[in-house]
Structures are given as C-alpha cells and as structure tokens.
Amino acid sequence: MKIVAFNGSPRLLGNTGGALNVVLDELEKEGVETEHVHVYESMMNPCNNCNSCEIRGDGRCINEDDRMNEYMGMMLEADGIILGSPSYFGSCSAQMKILLERVGYVSMFCGQPLARKIGGAVVVHDHDGGMSTYTELVGWMLRNRMMVCGSSPLTILSGKGPGDYEKDRKGYDALRSLARDMVWAIESSKGL
C-alpha cells in the first residue's frame, strides 16, 4: 500500500508540510509506504489550455519541461493521495492550483484513471479561507471520482508562525485520524 502527499506550500518547512508529516508518520506506523512531494520545487508551468491532452488522450501533458507527468504517474501508482495546501487569500496556493488544473485536465481526457483512489485533504490557514480551500481540494478529488476520507473535526488547522499547526490540538488529532481512516478505506476497497 502506498500513499503520496502533495504539499502545495512554497515553504518547505512550513505548517502545511509539518501537518502532512503528521499524517505520513501515522501512515508509516500502519506499515504504509509514503512519499511527500513538494510541488513548489518543480516550478510547474500553468496550463495554457492547448487541448493537447484531449487530442492525445494518452494521460500525459504535452509540456515535458516540468514534473507534471511524473506527478501524474505517482498518483496513478498510489493507492491514496493527500492534497495539502495553505489557504492563500481564501484559496489554495498557486502551486497547488497549477497541479490540480493540469492533472485534472489530463485525467479527464484519458478515462479518469484516478477514479476510486482514496483521497484526503489537509489545509492550514491563518484566520480565514480554510473551509473554502478544503472544499476546493475535496471538490477536485470528487470531480476525479475519488473516494474522500473526512475527519471530525476536518483537517483544517490554524497556524501562521513556524510550528503553529501543532498548537491546534483538535486539528492535530484529526490528522492522525485521517491517516487511520485512509488505511481502513484502502484495505476495505481491496477486499471488494
């Protein structure tokens, strides 16, 4: 079993990455192979709506100058996908938005290969935008016909300064709960 987490924060050691590490640590305790991808490192180009993915239909973006096709491959190989983003001005980060758009278009035009994969979302916000960012990430997964694990409370954590996400005790506990529920969902789906 493998779960890959995509960190949409430009801060490699920021609150979003830290929160994702909590989930990944819990997954590793459950014996799950994990990978933590920092989307910002690849400097991905935005989608230019060239429609090549629709014309080709092969599950790849024509732009080979960045890691988008590699990221798509990682998603296809994984049993579960976690999307993590800070809330920037009430929405996900620009880096995450680029990933969502490009993977989404490619997936839409090649038979929706992410369907029935297990998904989870993690958001860190300062004082607003957490719910809209969470909804954006979950909506992307649902549009790709993924099965989304929730938590109670939702994995929307408060934090601005370094390590502030750890002070949100309820949110911190929800991260571990999300990990356990994703493992359960993947194991249950394989038993069907």
Q: Which of 37, 29, 114, 123 is nearest to 78 (CA)?
A: 114
CB 6 within 8 A of CB 39: yes
Sign of CA dihedral 8, 9, 10, 14: negative
Q: What is the pLDDT of residues 125-157, one digit of tens each?
A: 998 899 999 999 999 999 999 999 999 999 999
Distance (Å, whole) CA 34 – CA 127: 30
Residue 187: what residue type? E
Instruction: Give the list of residues 6+ apart from residue 173 with CB closer than 8 angstroms, or none.
Output: none
Q: Looking at the 3D structure of the chain, how many domains does it have? A: 1
**Model-level pTM?**
0.96
Q: What is the pLDDT of residues 34-85, one digit of tens each?
A: 999 999 988 888 998 899 989 988 999 898 889 999 999 999 999 999 999 9
Domain that holds residue 58: 2-190
- CATH (domain of 115): 3.40.50.360
